[in-house]
Structure 1
Amino acid sequence: MKELPGDFADRYGPRALILGGSEGIGAAFAEGLAAAGLDLTLVARSAQALEETAAAIRRSHGVDVEMIQLDLTRADIEARAGEIVAARDYGLIIYNAGATHGVGLFLDQPVDHALNLVRLNCAAPIAFAHHGLAAMRSRGRGGLLIVSSMSGMVGSGYVAAYAASKSFEIVLAEGLHWELARDGVDVTCAVATLTDTPAMRRSGMVEIEGLVPMDAGAFAMNALDALGTAPVWYAVGEAVVEAMRAAPRTAATAHASAMSAQLWGMDADPDTAGR
């Protein structure tokens, strides 16, 4: 794993808060930041995964690792965000939560499935951003890194609510980047491509010949390198993103929907899907 610049801890230390920090990309963020000397607070739903990741990082790097077991979709997330942020001196907050948690046609799933994604990818990032950035602005330094997905680039069948909620994260980061730059605080949205994580494997993703998911560690370290350089960083590169933007929206949606169907073994024909 590549190393962060020597002054990274001065800019974003002494402690990082990683929401969704127990495995996959979150654990890769934790590993890279601990190697740079930052203490960590890891937040996730799974106590066992938190304990395993925290123990491994302590053994490898000797930094302080705090664990908080928390469901980020809970109704009182704004209050909990305030408590967590106020309890420590965070120079960096990474919002990495937000896997698909199952795919399917919008109307074939309970409405709470979609609302849960809104709570996870919209309400919770707002809560932690508001509390965390306020503290950073008063100090004149710090950073917020929000992890989104290429699904947020265009509407897509089978993941309609997920794609919409990930789009929210991209647009939120763009606005906050503009607002906080004058205060010396960096805000970036790191947009992931298909990445090999335990959450993605649990989601029922199908292995496709010729399609190789990105390594979680590579994504995490490149995202940290991009922090503060631009409002949005795309793991696939700007050329791919520009090509997507140049395509008609209906064609882009059709392509994204077909890809979703392929990845999760669903019916790619819109005339027969769900029937």
Structure 2
Amino acid sequence: MSGAATLAERYGPRALILGGSEGIGAEFADLLAGSGLDLTLVARSAAALNETAGKIRRVHGVDVEIIELDLAAPDIPSRASDIIAARDYGLVIYNAGATHGVSLFLDQPVERALNLVALNCASPVAFAHAALGKMREKGRGGLILISSMSGLVGSGYVAAYAASKAFEIVLAEGLHWELQRDGVDILCAVASLTDTPAMQRSGMVAVEGLTPMDARTFASGALGALGTTPVWYAVGDTAVEGLRAMPRPAATANASAISAQLWGIEADRGG
């Protein structure tokens, strides 16, 4: 759904951006503020939140609230309810859950995998459940979940991350089916490798032939797709169809090799 007036009318008066302090989240914030929406930005880093919020206030003159919160915290269901109840949100964007460094599943503490499950599965469910009921009552609104191409197939070195990102895609498909009749738009925006501060901090290395997408291009494309489809792939449908045409074991082997390349690991496992 495109156009400044359309965004404000369809998804105003305020957007909640979870993971809104930098990168893709900050680009969503800037685009929505430019369309006239007030914002609530949620993230762990107060410094990054204040910097982004200050810039948006200066440039766009909208109201920007910040909330410092760990989206993997155990009390997220109650926090989500409180945050949603406090404001009139017409749009919720869940943009969290980057992976920071990779390793074989059994070479990491189980808490690391469970943190990804909390961040990419439990927390999106909590915020979706809290927000969508109010949107259904109004007969309008939107929810965007940000997933990853990693969620399309199992992958070594990022097994739990890939699985948790697959959850977001399937969740969005089901919620879209349930809520389209009520005038509520649900979208899973599936990112490819994207140039963000989190990616730069993650330990990734440059790989020939893999050029990160611009974060603003991704955010703009996702907003344009909202209301038109349950799942939008930043790389385009053709690339996704090619991946799905591969036998699953071959696709997993390919994804695992790419993960190893991106984090400079010598891939020596798997058959």
Distance 1:147 1:50 in 2: 19
State the match for 1:182 in structure 2. Answer: 181
State the match for 2:84 in structure 1. Answer: 85
Normalising by structure 1, report the TM-score. Answer: 0.97
The alignment status of 1:234 with 2:233, answered yes or no, reads yes
Amino acid at match of 2:11: Y
State the match for 2:243 in structure 1. Answer: 244
Distance 1:44 1:8 in 2: 23
- Report the Cα offset of residue 8 of structure 1: 1.2
- Report the Cα offset of residue 203 of structure 1: 0.8
- Report the Cα offset of residue 271 of structure 1: 5.7
The alignment status of 1:10 with 2:3, answered yes or no, reads no
State the match for 1:114 in structure 2. Answer: 113
Give yes or no for contact 1:4–1:32 (8 Å, CA) kept in 2.
Answer: no
Normalising by structure 2, report the TM-score. Answer: 0.98
Distance 1:210 1:148 in 2: 22
Distance 1:175 1:52 in 2: 36
**What is the SS of the residue equivalent to 1:251?**
helix
State the match for 2:259 in structure 1. Answer: 260
The alignment status of 1:43 with 2:32, answered yes or no, reads no
TM-superposition CA deviations, 1:181-228 (whole Å, max 9, x none): 010000000000000001111110001233210000000010000011
Distance 1:75 1:211 in 2: 36
Amino acid at match of 1:51: N
TM-superposition CA deviations, 1:93-125 (whole Å, max 9, x none): 000011002211100000000000000000000
Matches within 5 A, 1:103-142: 103-142=102-141
Amino acid at match of 1:55: G
My pick for the range that moved more, 226-235 or 204-213, is: 204-213
Distance 1:12 1:96 in 2: 17
The alignment status of 1:24 with 2:27, answered yes or no, reads no
**What is the SS of the residue equivalent to 1:94?**
strand
Distance 1:212 1:5 in 2: 30
Distance 1:102 1:77 in 2: 25
What are the ranges of 5 or more consecutive residues in structure 2 without an aligned counterpart? none
Q: Which runs of 4+ in 1 moved over 4 A?
A: none
Aligned length: 270
Cα RMSD (Å): 1.1
Distance 2:145 2:210 in 1: 25
Distance 2:32 2:25 in 1: 11
Distance 1:268 1:139 in 2: 51
**What is the SS of the residue equivalent to 1:7?**
helix
State the match for 2:167 in structure 1. Answer: 168
Distance 1:158 1:59 in 2: 42
Distance 1:26 1:155 in 2: 26
Matches within 5 A, 1:148-159: 148-159=147-158
**What is the SS of the residue equivalent to 2:147?**
strand
State the match for 1:214 in structure 2. Answer: 213
- Report the Cα offset of residue 7 of structure 1: 1.5
Distance 1:142 1:211 in 2: 35
Distance 1:119 1:214 in 2: 27
Amino acid at match of 2:18: L
Give yes or no for contact 1:206–1:263 (8 Å, CA) kept in 2.
Answer: yes
Distance 1:271 1:65 in 2: 48
**What is the SS of the residue equivalent to 1:67?**
strand
Amino acid at match of 1:214: M
The alignment status of 1:72 with 2:71, answered yes or no, reads yes
Distance 2:134 2:165 in 1: 25
Distance 1:89 1:269 in 2: 51
